[in-house]
Structure formats: C-alpha cells, structure tokens
Amino acid sequence: MYVRIRNIGSEKAEPVSVRITGEADVPFDYDVKSDYVGNLDIGEEGEAILKFDVDKDALPKVYPQGIEIRCSGDRDLGDDNVYEVSSSHSSTPGFEAIFAIMTILLIYFLRKPLHHLPFTNPL
C-alpha cells in the first residue's frame, strides 16, 4: 500500500514516519508495518510503503485499520515537539480521504505545542 502525505503546514516536518496499527482480528500478515518518509519541507510530498499479505480465506469486506503519522517540528525554528496524528478506526478502502484529513490535522498539531493538545496519547 502506497501512502502519500504532503506537508501543508507553516514549517518543515522532521523525521516523518507512517505506521499502520492493525486491529487484532484482521486477516492480514504485515511484512512492513511502518515506513520512514524523511523530512518534508513546506509543500513537499513524501510516500510511505506498507506491505501486507491477505489471507486466502479472507472475506471480501472492509477491515478496520489504524494509521499513525508522526514527526517533530522544525528544529531550526526551535520546535522540538513531537506531533502524532492517529486514526484507530479507518478502513482499507478510501485511504486517500483519511490521509487528507490526517494531513490537515498534522498541520494543525504542528502549529500547537504538544501540551495544549486536547489529547496526548490517543492510543
């Protein structure tokens, strides 16, 4: 699965990573559950590649999956905060929509210090 994210914020996002947080009862075997995207300048896109195999006896239906995008702020601007956007119940079809929402949330979090967030550990 290719996951494309874009930094639409007001500062550089430093080491950006994407991780799938699989639910317990899914017929998937994960080969690669996370990927490092790298630093993303303002407006820059990055891509993560997550790999999994689907069990042969899996029923064709939507399986809940969680996705997490994590980065820190621009250290050159003195922003050493760690930002995390996660979704514990997205679904396999339509990842593009959820990542668009998560990218917007990531940018919101980049503008706010971590201690001002309404939650600090959504998992």
Q: pLDDT digits over 12-44, tens only?
A: 888 899 998 866 677 888 888 899 999 999 899
In a domain, residue 103? The reply is: yes
In a domain, residue 112? The reply is: yes
Structurally, the chain folds into a number of domains equal to: 1
In a domain, residue 122? The reply is: no
* pTM, two decimal places: 0.64
In a domain, residue 123? The reply is: no
| 38-79 confidence digits (pLDDT tens) | 999 989 999 999 888 888 888 888 777 788 899 888 888 888
Tell me the H-state helices in the chain.
95-111
Query: What is the C-alpha to C-alpha distance for residues 106 and 90, in angstroms, rounded to an integer?
Result: 16
